[in-house]
Amino acid sequence: MAADDVNAVASPGWRYYLQEKVLVIFFLGFSAGLPFLLVYSTLSAWLKDAGLQMSTISTFAWLGFAYSLKFAWAPFVDGLPIPFLTRLLGRRRSWLLLAQAAIGLALLVLATMDPAHAIGVFAIVALIVAFSSATQDIVIDAYRIECAEDQLQGVLAAAYQYGYRMAMLIAGAGALYIAQYGSWSMAYTAMSACMLVGILTTLWCKEPDVEVVTADRSGTVAVRAARWFQHAVADPFIDFFTRFGGFALTIIVFILFFRLSDYVLGILANPFYLDIGFSKAEVASVAKIYGVIVSLVGAGAAGWAVVRHGVARCLIIATVLIASTNLFFALMTLVGAELWMLTVTISADNFAMGFGGTVFIAYLSSLVSASFTATQYALMSSLMSLLGKATAGYSGNVQEAIGWMGFFLYAAALGIPAIVLAVIVSRRHDHLVKSDAR
């Protein structure tokens, strides 16, 4: 790491956020955050407006399997060049540009459709958005880890969260405002145009200075394929379990449960707001605009906390916040559609999301090997959403069976295993990472 980078991290201040690599990660974070809500909570609001049932709406949470299973094609992203583009832009930037262009075009197609009359085709196009978005995430995570040393990863994680949350402001509040005073078609057309932020950043940024091992092209096609599979697919998994031993399984279980309660609740948050009487404009103003501001505060607090106190201590705080803040939604079912209660709930929930997101990014970044950055990070970040998305697909059925109060208590209870596992994992984290010859 350059001396300036080390000094900036050692003495946190506003100037370290103005480093070029930090600004690049901020804008790439924006590009990553924009499509997520457009196939998640914003999409669920559109589907409710279209008259679909809660049980149908919640099944769209399964679009998130594209994010959960991205480790399956991460080796291809990590090791395969794209004709012409890779020679022109480099390994990471070429895949970024391809994924970002696909997201923008798919959102534009989605804007021309009516989910009430073509739900099947609508779901397929939404899946293309999710798949391309997950591919973009693979590359951005690898780029972020490769462009700076470990000491700066907390800062880059915070910058990524800032960009991500700003995009959620646009894809959340912005889309809801446009839908309220225009149409959903206009909203998704505008979101498609916003992907230009990511495309321009990709064209502007520099390829990470990382040595890429040239593939051995000797032998038959079968031999070369087996050699590639060994290096790109098998070796990253072997490396992870070799470095962390039997405790690797505990780490994986913790990752699975980390945001389970958040995912289960999140898919029905917008339908809940609309169901109890809030307008789309009120949801946009408080849950989206104000909520993003609060989440940025949480992300910044986490970036400072990780630099100052280390990621292990912050893990426990993050899991407690994520689980406990779901109880505010249960209280809202008693209070009703009061703006002050919505504000309190969003304050707690979004601070927890911002804090937890930054801490978890820094935690996962500390676990990966520099030799298999994209594949290992994709595997671990995929696991984070795998159980959550699978369970969230049934959120509508649970809510219809036990009502809103029971549903929110159920969501909060799902966070208890994460708290217990965070205590176990945090106790061994520093020792494992320090003894890891990365």
pLDDT 10s digits, 32-61: 999 988 988 889 889 988 888 888 888 887
* Residue 211 predicted with pLDDT over 80: no
CB 165 within 8 A of CB 290: no
CB 30 within 8 A of CB 167: yes
Q: Is residue 19 part of a domain?
A: yes
Q: Band of the pLDDT at 334, cuts 50, 70, 90?
A: very high
Task: Report in angstroms the alpha-carbon separations of 1 from 127, 150, 155, 184, 341.
Answer: 39, 9, 13, 46, 46
The reported pTM is 0.68
Q: How do residues 214-231 score in pLDDT, each as one tens digit?
A: 555 566 767 766 776 777
* Residue 11 predicted with pLDDT over 50: no
Percent of the chain with pLDDT over 90: 38
Among candidates 81, 368, 72, which has minimal Cα distance to 229? 72
In this prediction, residue 173 carries a pLDDT of 84
Q: How do residues 376-431 score in pLDDT, each as one tens digit?
A: 777 787 777 788 888 888 898 999 899 999 999 999 999 999 999 999 998 887 77
Q: Band of the pLDDT at 1, cuts 50, 70, 90?
A: very low
Among candidates 403, 184, 115, which has minimal Cα distance to 276? 403
Among 233-237, 245-249, 354-358, the least confident range: 233-237
Q: Is residue 254 part of a domain?
A: yes
Q: How far apart are CA 28 and CA 199, in angstroms?
A: 9
The pair of three-digit structure tokens given for residue 113, joined into one six-digit string: 């459709």
Q: How do residues 337-365 score in pLDDT, each as one tens digit?
A: 899 999 999 999 999 988 998 898 888 88
Domain span holding position 120: 3-209+220-434
The mean pLDDT of the chain is 85
In this prediction, residue 7 carries a pLDDT of 44
Q: Where are the alpha helices (DSSP H) in 147-183?
A: 153-169, 175-181
Q: Is residue 258 part of a domain?
A: yes
Which CATH number goes with the domain that contains 96? 1.20.1250.20
Q: Band of the pLDDT at 331, cuts 50, 70, 90?
A: very high
Q: What is the mean pLDDT of residues 178-198?
A: 94
Task: Report in angstroms the alpha-carbon separations of 379 from 324, 367, 373, 375.
Answer: 27, 11, 10, 6
Angle between helices 291-309 and 153-169 (to 10 degrees): 180
The set of residues, in sequence order, having a beta carbon less than 8 Å from that of 232 and lying 6+ positions away, is: 75, 76, 78, 79, 375
* Residue 320 predicted with pLDDT over 80: yes
In this prediction, residue 319 carries a pLDDT of 93
Count of domains forming the chain? 1
Q: Is residue 214 part of a domain?
A: no
Q: Which amino acid is at 39?
A: V
CB 188 within 8 A of CB 179: no
CB 167 within 8 A of CB 29: yes
Among candidates 244, 406, 273, 414, which has minimal Cα distance to 345? 273
Q: What is the mean pLDDT of residues 183-198?
A: 95
Q: Is residue 215 part of a domain?
A: no
Give the distance, in angstroms, between the CA of residue 24 and the centroid of all CA atoms in the same chain: 17
Q: How far apart are CA 294 and CA 168, in angstroms?
A: 12
In this prediction, residue 6 carries a pLDDT of 42
The set of residues, in sequence order, having a beta carbon less than 8 Å from that of 129 and lying 6+ positions away, is: 35, 38, 39, 103, 106, 107, 110
Q: Where are the alpha helices (DSSP H) in 50-149?
A: 54-59, 65-68, 74-79, 85-89, 91-110, 119-146
* Residue 153 predicted with pLDDT over 50: yes
Cβ atoms within 10 Å, residue 85? 16
Q: Which of 94-103, 282-291, 302-311, 351-360 has the highest mean pLDDT?
A: 94-103
The pair of three-digit structure tokens given for residue 347, joined into one six-digit string: 């304050």
In this prediction, residue 383 carries a pLDDT of 77
In this prediction, residue 66 carries a pLDDT of 84
In this prediction, residue 235 carries a pLDDT of 82
- φ, ψ of residue 255 to 5 degrees: the values are -60, -40
CB 189 within 8 A of CB 111: yes
The pair of three-digit structure tokens given for residue 387, joined into one six-digit string: 């159980």
Q: Classify the C-alpha dihedral 8-12-18-23 as positive or negative.
A: positive
CA dihedral 237, 241, 243, 245 (to 10 degrees): 180
In this prediction, residue 79 carries a pLDDT of 75
In this prediction, residue 306 carries a pLDDT of 84
Q: Is residue 291 part of a domain?
A: yes
